[in-house]
């Protein structure tokens, strides 16, 4: 099960939960599972988030693999200069 962590800004969509365990093999599957747990969060995560999987930050991460016990953080998208 992946350990999914939410920033404080996302916890408005998780009923205050800071982290949950989710079984999924890809980020897409993970977002889908989270949307079932917290209806509406899927769109927010897909549109406005980068994903950090075990410390590595991905953009366009939909098909990235998520291993068992992976630590996953959804991050606000930021722009570089």
Partner 1 sequence: MAITEENPGYKWVGTRPVRPDGVEKVTGKARFGADLILPGMLHGKVVRSPHAHARIVSIDTSAAESMEGVKAVITGADFPDLAANGAHPSEIDVANNTIARDKVLYEGHVVAAVAAITREQAEAAAKAVTVTYEVLPHVLTVDEAMADDAPLLHDAMITKGVDPAPEEPSNIASKILHERGDLDQGFGEADSVVEREFTTKPVHQGYIEPHAAVADANTDGRAHIWCSSQGHFQMRAYTATVLGVSPGTLKVTAAEIGGGFGGKTVIYLEPLAVRLSQRAGRPVKLVMDRDEVFRATGPTSGTRIKVKMGVSKDGKITAAEVWMAYEAGAYAGSPVGAAGMTAIACYDIPNFVVEGYDVVCNKPRVAAYRAPGAPMAAFAVESVLDELARNIEMDPIDIRLANAAVEGTQASYGPKFPRIGFVETLEAIKEHPNYTADLGPNQGRGVAAGFWFNAGMMSSATVHINENGTATVVTGSPDIGGSRQSMALMAAEELGIPYESIKPVVADTETVGFNDVTGGSRVTLATGAAVVDACRLIVEDLRGRAAKTWDVEVDQVEWVDGQAQHVDGAQPPLSLNDLAAKSGRTGGPISANASLNSRGVGAGFSTQLCDVEVDPETGVTKVVRYLTAQDAGRAISPDYVEGQMQGGVVQGIGWALNEEYIHDTEGVMENPSFLDYRIPVASDLPMIDCAIVEVPNPAHPYGVRGVGEVGIVPPMAAVGNAIHDAVDVRMTELPMSPIKVLEALNENDG
Stretch that binds partner 1, among 26-34, 35-43, 50-58 (CB under 8 A): 50-58
| Cβ pair 43, 74 in contact under 8 A | no
Our CB check for partner 1 shows the closer of 30 and 73 to be 73
Burial class (CB in 10 A: 0-12, 13-18, 19+), 31: buried
Distance CA 63, CA 17 (A): 25
Our CB check for partner 1 shows the closer of 34 and 74 to be 74
The one among 57, 62, 65, 67 contacting partner 1 by CB under 8 A: 57
Our CB check for partner 1 shows the closer of 36 and 54 to be 54
Tokens 């950090």 belong to residue: 52
The one among 12, 39, 65, 67 contacting partner 1 by CB under 8 A: 12
Which tokens in the block code for residue 45? 């995560």
């Amino acid at each position: 099960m992946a350990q999914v962590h939410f920033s404080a800004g996302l916890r408005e969509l998780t009923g205050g939960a800071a982290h949950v365990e989710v079984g999924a093999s890809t980020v897409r599957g993970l977002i889908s599972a989270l949307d079932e747990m917290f209806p509406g969060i899927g769109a927010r995560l897909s549109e406005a988030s980068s994903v950090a999987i075990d410390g590595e930050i991905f953009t366009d991460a939909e098909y990235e693999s998520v291993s068992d016990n992976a630590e996953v953080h959804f991050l606000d998208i930021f722009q570089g200069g």
